[in-house]
Amino acid sequence: LEKQLKGVEEASKAVEVVMETEAEAGASGYSVTGGGERGIFVKDVLKDSPAAKHLSLQQGDQLLSAKVYFDNVRYEDALKILQCAEPYKVSFQLKRTIPGAEVSIRPQVPSVEVKGPTAKMAKMVMFLHLCL
């Protein structure tokens, strides 16, 4: 019984937290390890690097996913990123302009957010989960 109580006490001290960092350019100063079923983990973080300061990465953190923003990205760079991601699970955040008369939200679309004047409904932001 004493052994079980000690195990419960130790388990209650450990907390697993999932967080998303702010978007920052030039994430450098860290290395990763692992891969496959184990996952990808932060191996090392340089003390005063952008990864430590802006992204709050710490040794041992597991990287669950990464977002790459395409604002002001070169075509060649976007193409490389998309090609490298091809064999993996990917989700896209899309922006699409459609005529107001053609707006119809179909139930099979996982998550749709319509922005703008309700009379026009000219802009639609759609989160579409794809597995390439």
Q: How confident is the model at residue 18 (pLDDT cuts 50, 70, 90)?
A: confident
Between 114 and 91, name the one with better pLDDT.
91
Higher local confidence (pLDDT), 61 or 121: 61
Which residues neighbour 100 within 8 Å (Cβ) at sequence distance 6 or greater?
A: 119, 120, 121, 122
How far, in Å, CA of 78 to CA of 96, rounded? 19
Query: For the residues 41-55, what does the mean pLDDT come to?
Result: 89
pLDDT in tens, 49-107: 888 888 888 999 999 999 999 999 999 999 999 999 999 999 999 999 887 766 555 55
Predicted confidence at residue 79, as pLDDT, reads: 96
Mean pLDDT of the chain: 76
Which of the four pLDDT bands, split at 50, 70 and 90, describes residue 122?
Answer: very low
Is residue 24 a contact partner of residue 54, using CB atoms and an 8 Å limit? yes
